[in-house]
Amino acid sequence: AQSVTQLDSQVPVFEEAPVELRCNYSSSVSVYLFWYVQYPNQGLQLLLKYLSGSTLVKGINGFEAEFNKSQTSFHLRKPSVHISDTAEYFCAVHAGNMLTFGGGTRLMVKP
Amino acid sequence: DTGVSQNPRHKITKRGQNVTFRCDPISEHNRLYWYRQTLGQGPEFLTYFQNEAQLEKSRLLSDRFSAERPKGSFSTLEIQRTEQGDSAMYLCASSFTSSNQPQHFGDGTRLSIL
């Protein structure tokens, strides 16, 4: 079985500041890792994915994430956030035939 | 790519009634998934289809829940004798078969039980 822990339920940050959203996972098998973003009353939109290869992956909207196998982490970063980045962010692992999601982190960007 | 479409977007019903949701996946995708998301939580896997075959069901999917994908295209999720605890957002996603392919999500159906 696999599990995903997002260590921060809420992250407040000022506009144009950098941000890191933390994600740790556990799994007994190799996994694929994903970050999704969810805006109010909408479904989930894929931000980025790690399948193999380079541990630093770049996604949409200026986000990037780094896979660290030894620490079983997949933290999401953005060097400068915008008001429009305010949303819920979900880390997920794909193993077997399903996605297992973390509890989500609400990013709140303040002007 | 028209995306994954879910209907209705919102459903309000009284406890004990039956409800049915529909999901139209991206046409080229042969896998279709159902998830449930309660307020403040991440989505939880319910079940998935490979074409018309339902291959896996979560323990969350009680016998009041049934999902179908009769022709390997759209899918329906029915909940019989709804309970207060069924109130949630029901999300549908689709993907290609390979497990490293990302799942594409619809905007969900929000179910409210009165």
pLDDT in tens, A3-24: 999 999 999 999 999 999 999 9
Q: Are B90 and B32 in contact (CB under 8 A)?
A: no
Please judge whether A99 and B56 are an interchain contact, meaning their C-beta atoms are less than 8 angstroms apart: no
Share of chain A above pLDDT 90, in %: 79
Return d(Cα A63, Cα B113) in angstroms, integer: 37
Is the pLDDT score of A37 beyond 80?
Answer: yes
Q: What is the pLDDT of residue B65?
A: 96
pLDDT in the model for residue B5:
96
Amino acid identity, position A66: E
> In chain B, positions 54-93, which contact chain A (CB-CB < 8 Å)?
55-56, 91, 93
Q: Residue A27's pLDDT is what?
A: 85
Mean pLDDT in chain A?
93
Using the Cβ of A100 and the Cβ atoms of chain B, whether some distance falls under 8 Å is answered with: yes
What is the rounded distance in angstroms from the CA atom of residue A38 to the CA atom of residue A43?
6
Q: How large is the average pLDDT for residues B26-54?
A: 94
pLDDT tens by residue, A84-103: 999 999 999 988 778 999 99
Q: Cα(B4)–Cα(B21) distance, rounded to whole angstroms?
A: 13
What does DSSP assign to residue B102?
P
Q: Which residues of A touch B103 (CB under 8 A)?
A: 99
A39-48, A72-81, B8-17: range with lowest mean pLDDT: A39-48
The H or E element that residue A36 is part of is: strand A32-38
Partner-chain contact B108 A42, CB within 8 Å: yes
Q: Give the single-character DSSP code of B61.
A: -
Closest chain A residue to B56 measured between Cα atoms? A97
- pLDDT band, very low/low/confident/very high, at A41 (cuts 50, 70, 90): confident
Whether residue B1 is predicted with pLDDT greater than 60 in this model: the reply is: no
Closest Cβ–Cβ partner in A46, A98, A103 for B45: A98
Give the nearest chain B residue to A51 (CA atoms): B100
Predicted confidence at residue A66, as pLDDT, reads 95
- Report the candidate in A85, A79, A111, A89 with the shortest Cα–Cα distance to residue A14: A111
Whether residues A44 and B105 touch (CB distance < 8 A) is answered with: yes
DSSP A62: G
Task: Answer whether A47's CB lies under 8 Å from A62's CB.
Answer: no
Record: contact A99-B107, CB cut-off 8 A: no
Which residues of chain A make contact with B106, given a CB cutoff of 8 A?
A: 43
Residues B112 and B38: their CA atoms lie apart, in Å, by 11
Question: In Å, what is the CA distance from A24 to each residue of A54, A74, A103?
Answer: 18, 6, 11
pLDDT at residue A29 in the model: 80
Which of the four pLDDT bands, split at 50, 70 and 90, describes residue B6? very high
State residue B72's pLDDT score: 86
